[in-house]
Structure 1
Amino acid sequence: MNAPQGTVTITHHFGAIEVAEEAMMTFPTGGLFGFEKITQYVLLPAARKGLWWLIAPNADATTFVLADPFALDADYAIDLGEHERADLAIEDANDAFALVMLTLPEGTGAMPTANMRAPIVFNLNKRLAAQVVSREESHELQKPANLTLYPLQEGGVSLG
């Protein structure tokens, strides 16, 4: 079966997911740290508001969980350099949308952690993204992330 116009079908280990082409993001300067060769991802809202799925559609469905960093730290700030703004075609601060990567614990009782030091910055209008290293040394690599700060939402994608 063919996907409708304007959509892309991703094969994930949880099944086929049909997403709008607008959800496709390109990392023009290389992918995520450790995944530099993967430069195309799909960004989808998760079942909790402020959490997102970042899925590599052509790389065995490599999937990351991203979170709104401002829910974890209201004073969080990102200072993008001139090259980063140019790579992402960010002309105005409102063009930038930042998320941080979560690491989920393997065992029960442990809390997920957020990498506040290397956020992923998106220009949603241009469908561009880049992982950047924050110049702010106080940002933690493993900040405890209480997922109850992110309320359930309708319309989010649930994997599993």
Structure 2
Amino acid sequence: MMMIHTASWGSLEVAEDQIFHFPKGMPGFEDETEFALITLEEGMFSYLQSLKEKGLAFLLADPFDYYPDYEFELPAADTEELQIEAQVLVRCIISLKEQVEQSTINLLAPVILNPEKQVGKQIILHSSSYQTRHQLWTEDSVKAGE
């Protein structure tokens, strides 16, 4: 176990298998190469928390929970770089808005995680019709939740 410091939850204990190495960092945060994957109790969301910068955390969700038809081809170079053999986790960054129904999910740049080797990378799907801001909840799903 390892103690990390976060802006949102103070000090947290994380297991070694929650630590992911991002050799190239995250776009815009190239110096941040070590992150802890923290799953929230409800299980719908997780956080990618920087081990170095306590104020840097990305809210992630499983895109298939919101867009079951979401699909893309993982480029061979990325598959190789991440040493993916069998297991792979696909997560997308959520932009939470003050009005929750306006929150969006970035389907254009998924975060690919290899839980066996504990490496990760955010990739950009260049030849894709996906965007960085897809509605997280449709009007129907917001009404259903009322």
Q: Distance in 2 between matches of 1:69 and 1:144?
A: 11
* Count, aligned residues: 139
Closer, same or farther: CA 109–43 of 1 in aligned 2, 3 Å:
closer
Partner Cα distance (1:110, 1:72) in 2: 13
Q: Please state if 1:125 is matched with 2:119.
A: no
Aligned-partner SS, 2:106: strand
Question: Separation in 1 of the partners of 2:132 and 2:50?
Answer: 23
Partner of 1:15: 10
**Which residues in structure 2 correspond to 1:22-37 (within 5 Å)?**
22-28=17-23, 30-37=24-31
By how many angstroms is 1:68 displaced? 0.4
Contact 2:62 2:90 in 1 (8 A): yes
SS in 2 for 1:84: helix
Q: Contact 2:101–2:137 (CA<8 Å) still a contact in 1?
A: no
The offset of 1:136, in angstroms, is 4.7
Aligned partners of 2:90 and 2:17: how far apart in 1? 17
Give the alignment's Cα RMSD to 1 decimal: 1.9
Correspondence for 1:104 among 91, 96, 102: 96
Render the CA deviation track for 1:13-53: whole Å, top value 9, x for unaligned. Answer: 3311001011000012x111111110100001113323111
Alpha-carbon separation, structure 1, partners of 2:15 and 2:132: 32
Query: Residues 101 and 136 of structure 2 are in contact (CA less than 8 Å); yes or no, is this contact kept in structure 1?
Result: no
Question: Normalising by structure 1, what TM-score?
Answer: 0.79
On the 8 A contact 1:115/1:141 being kept in 2, the answer is: yes
Q: Is the 8 A contact 1:79 1:135 kept in 2?
A: no
Q: Runs of 5+ in structure 2 lacking a partner?
A: none
Between the aligned partners of 2:42 and 2:103, the Cα distance in structure 1 is 15
The residue aligned with 1:72 is: 66
Moved more, 132-141 or 83-92: 132-141
Whole-angstrom CA distance in 2 between matches of 1:139 and 1:47: 29
Partner of 2:82: 88
**Percent of residue pairs bearing the same amino acid type:** 26
Residue pair 1:53, 1:65 contacting (<8 A) in 2 also: yes
5+ long unaligned stretches in structure 1: 1-6, 150-160
Look up the match of 1:4.
Answer: none
**Counterpart of 2:75 in structure 1: which amino acid?**
G
TM-score (norm. length: structure 2): 0.87
